Structure 1
Amino acid sequence: MIRFLTAGESHGKALIVVIEGLPAGLEVSADDVSAELSRRRLGYGRGPRMRFEQDQVTLVGGVRHGRTLGSPVAIEIANTEWERNPDKWQREMSPEAADGPTEAPLTQIRPGHADLAGMQKYGFTDARDVLERASARETAARVAAGTLAKKLLAALGVEIVSHVIQMGPVRSHGERPGPADLPRVDENEVRCLDLDAAAAMVTEIKEASKEGDSLGGVVEAIAYGVPIGLGSHVHWDRKLDSALAQAVMSIQAVKGVEIGDGFEVAGRRGSAAHDPVTWSDAQGYERTSNLSGGVEGGMSTGEPVVVRAAMKPLATLNRPTLATVDTATKEAGVSFKERTDVTAVPALGVVVEHMVALVLANEATRKFGGDSVDEMARNHRTFVEALGQGPVGA
């Protein structure tokens, strides 16, 4: 099984991710990880930090001469601000007791963030003890881990693409991209293939920016080539859709997750809410639609796995207006501003891609096993060939 753990704070020295369970022989480089991290910085409406943050990647362990060893892989993503602004961050975020406490702790909590609940939970008196770790900067480490998961899935013929389907009130009604469309999606400034909708999204972002406000939206990730049988119906925590929902819901600012057409079919009658199954000697079993998003009974069906995530508007605003309280003085005020984006929805799609990849890669290793990529690919190939021999149970 694949597990990963991230460590580090937004303005700390670095983010670290350790990935366990990858088979040996997976080709990987720091450039591969850097390329995916650069995609995370895409999107109209991002703040200035995205322009100067370079995500300096170092493969610390688990990789030799460009191939995984089967041992845990450790990746460091250096924080360029740590070196660029040492007088502030190297003291502010120092791990050394001699460098603290902070002379001016943050006590004016920000509504919509983890600040107040985190301070109350852990007994902190400085909101920075919470917000530095709660920051969406942590998703860079997830993307690094997901890069390796995507490469493992590619060895099994699985490819994942994401796109934006809604920005604020503007919704796309265009085509669903396939794997070959991913470069075209990334080239669009809001990562939307529906060009009319994309233009309206940019306009919406500009209007929100003028008013110092923020926008949320919805992204969709589609995994193509997912083999039948990932996940299981036998336990609540083995179901593929529950694992996907947990992984995607854990992303900062995500408040809703949908598998397939989940919310839409909730308003239909059963006769129009499920995917009919057909059989032919040439094609075997086929579903004539994919309302289920490629998952039935907690297991993948062989259809594309479709996951949507709804992101709330960012709570940090360029024109702070949200009422708040200073936890030290209890005086009323408005939330303070740190550098912020108008929207991070285009980047969310990239993060969702990688979280979906991590879940699918974990289930693939559980299903097909193998100490090396070649062994895992052989096991996968044998399973697929056996399914193609005839009806279930033959």
Structure 2
Amino acid sequence: MFRFTTAGESHGRALIAIVEGVPAGTPINVEAIDRDLERRQWGYGRGGRMRIERDRVQILSGVRHGQALGSPIALMIENRDWPNWQEVMAVEPRALSSEEARQLKRPRPGHADLAGGLKYGARDLRDILERASARESAARVACGAVAKQLLAEFGVEILSHVIQLGGIPTEPLELDWASIAAIPDDAPLRCGDAEVEKLMIARIDEARREGDTLGGVFEVVGRGVVVGLGSHVSWREKLDGRLAQAFMSIPAVKAVEIGIGVRAASLPGSEVHDEIAYDAAERKFFHRTNRAGGLEGGITNGEELRVRGYLKPISTLRRPLRSVDIETKEESAAAYERSDTTAVPAAGVIGEAMMAIVLAAAMREKFGGDSLVEMTRNFQAYLDQLRAY
């Protein structure tokens, strides 16, 4: 079984993650993990925190001489901002004033502040903010980077791109794999249309001047995914459901679309379902289109996986919305914490991580194996079975 868990607060000492289920012998490249951590931090519209942190992973266990041992892999990402928060976030009791403790009493609309405070009885909403912060997603990206390295052994590649931001363009972009792969590493928004990207940047500048924030849509594409991951036999095993849950868990994502998803509801079946064909030379079935986004009946069908995440605008605004002080119960402007104008490109990188984690889990379930050698042997036997079908 491939699974992970994370720990840590936004302004705590570090983020911690533990990944289980990586088969022994899997190559683990620290630099590849760091590259994805850097990609999560990068993008036009990010805020001051990204100028402070320079995320790098430290592997504390589970890897020796560049290969997984088969035991849990422990990862740590230090928070460089920690020296400025040592007293505020100290583990031991501290006698601090409300101001010294940077207490949060004015919940931000759209954030977990109020709902979390009510649920846990927190009188200082920082107790909620610190874990609800999207800073936690850095640990997920590190776990996803490990999952990507396992998937690469079986020919799976995962990319993301921004297809709409702040309502630009009116209809989300549609790009093939080659166009997505061709997006330059230094593209400000990881958008495949340079002219559209310029309009997005202008919209971000406008929102920043107004003290506002913007959401958008990112798409994650998985290529080389074998047919047969997931299952139709139980709702828990349907891979589309697992991917949707994984994407919905990304901070600020409010909707998920697989394939043509929402559009399919307004079209006749003849314009939705993908016709099936057979390639005699390759001895494999394929679909003439991919409106299903690579999934049918909760099972991968061998086509590209295409999942879109719809990101609401960030809930921390420099021009705060109205709120209520939880102590005085009087109307007050919501609290402001250092924030971004938009983080859609970063959300795409987090989406890559979540897709990789779900796929790695599905691969481990289907092909098992304590070592990469054993898992690869099982995988090859399955490919032989498919060719003989």
- TM-score norm. by structure 1 comes to 0.94
- Please say if 1:220 is aligned against 2:215: no
Given that residues 232 and 297 in structure 1 are in contact (C-alpha distance below 8 angstroms), is that contact kept between their aligned partners in structure 2?
A: yes
Post-superposition Cα deviations, 1:149-206, rounded to whole Å, max 9, x if no partner, equal 000000000000100000011025353334x954735321010011111111111111
Contact 1:175 1:194 (C-alpha < 8 Å) held by counterparts: no
Q: 2:107 aligns with which of 97, 100, 109?
A: 109
- Name the amino acid aligned to 2:114: L
1:35 to partner: Cα distance: 1.3
Instruction: Determine the structure 1 residue equivalent to 2:138.
Output: 140
Q: Which residue of 2 aligns with 1:26?
A: 26
- CA-to-partner distance for each residue in 1:34-77, whole Å, 9 max, x for gaps? 11100001110000111221113211111111111000000010
Query: Which residue identity is paired with 2:308?
Result: R
Counterpart CA distance in 2 for 1:309 and 1:31 is 27
Aligned-pair CA distance for 1:313: 0.5
User: Is 1:93 aligned to residue 85 of structure 2?
Assistant: no
Q: C-alpha displacement at 1:281, in angstroms? A: 1.9
Q: 1:182, 1:127 → 2: CA distance?
A: 42
Q: Aligned in 2, Cα 1:163/1:293: closer, same or farther, shift over 3 Å?
A: same
Separation in structure 1 between the aligned mates of residue 182 and residue 143 of structure 2, nearest angstrom: 21
Q: Structure 2: where are the runs of 5+ without partners?
A: none
Q: Is contact 1:214–1:343 with CA below 8 Å preserved after alignment?
A: yes
1:177 and 2:172 are equivalent in the alignment: no
Alpha-carbon offset, residue 101 of structure 1? 5.9
Q: Which moved more, 1:196-205 or 1:141-150?
A: 196-205
Change (3 A) 1:100 1:26: farther
Offset at 1:121? Answer: 0.3
- Distance in 1 between the 2:205 and 2:125 partners? 31
Displacement after TM superposition at 1:333 (Å): 1.0
Instruction: State the Cα distance separating 1:337 from its structure 2 match.
Output: 1.4
Residue number in structure 1 paired with 2:155: 157
1:368-379 aligned within 5 A? 368-379=367-378
Q: Is the 1:185–1:192 Cα contact (8 Å) retained in structure 2?
A: no
Tell me, in whole angstroms, the C-alpha distance in 2 between the residues paired with 1:232 and 1:256: 23
3-state SS of 1:349 partner: helix
Return the alpha-carbon distance in structure 1 between the equivalents of residues 106 and 33 of structure 2: 37
The C-alpha deviation readout for 1:324-343, integer Å capped at 9, x for no partner, is 00001111111121111100
1:344 is the counterpart of 2:343: yes
Q: Cα gap change, 1:235/1:326 in structure 2, threshold over 3 Å: closer, same or farther?
A: same
Q: Distance in 2 between matches of 1:100 and 1:346?
A: 41
Distance 1:372 1:239, change over 3 A: same
- Normalization by structure 2: what TM-score? 0.95
CA distance in 2, matches of 1:136, 1:285: 41
Matched-pair contact (CA < 8 Å) for 1:213–1:319: yes
Note the alpha carbon deviations across 1:315-371, whole angstroms, 9 max, x for none: 111222x11000011111111211111000011100000100000000001111111
Distance in 2, Cα, partners of 1:309 & 1:236: 21
SS of equivalent to 1:218: strand
Matched residue count: 383
1:53 — aligned with what? 53
In 2, the alpha carbon distance for the partners of 1:100 and 1:375 equals: 56
Aligned in 2, Cα 1:199/1:49: closer, same or farther, shift over 3 Å? same
1:28 to 1:53, Cα distance in 2 relative to 1, 3 A: same
CA RMSD of aligned residues (A): 1.4
Aligned to 2:65: 65
Given that 2:293 and 2:306 are in contact with CA atoms closer than 8 Å, whether structure 1 keeps it comes out as: yes
Per the alignment, residue 39 of structure 1 pairs with 39
Distance 1:46 1:123 in 2: 32
2:310 matched to which residue of 1? 310
Distance 2:56 2:78 in 1: 5
CA positional deviation for 1:29:
3.5
Percentage identity across paired residues of the two chains: 50
2:66 counterpart letter in structure 1? G
Deviation at 1:386, TM superposition (A): 2.1
Match of 2:5 in 1: 5
The Cα offsets for residues 206-258 of structure 1, whole Å up to 9 and x where unpaired, read as 11111111100000000000001000000001000000000010011000001
Map 1:123-138 to 2 at 5 A.
123-138=121-136
Secondary structure of the 2:291 match is coil
Separation in structure 1 between the aligned mates of residue 9 and residue 145 of structure 2, nearest angstrom: 21
Equivalent position SS for 1:142 = helix
The Cα shift of 1:3 comes to 0.9
Aligned partner of 1:72: which letter? P
Q: What SS class does the counterpart of residue 387 from structure 1 fall into? A: helix
SS in 1 for 2:158: strand
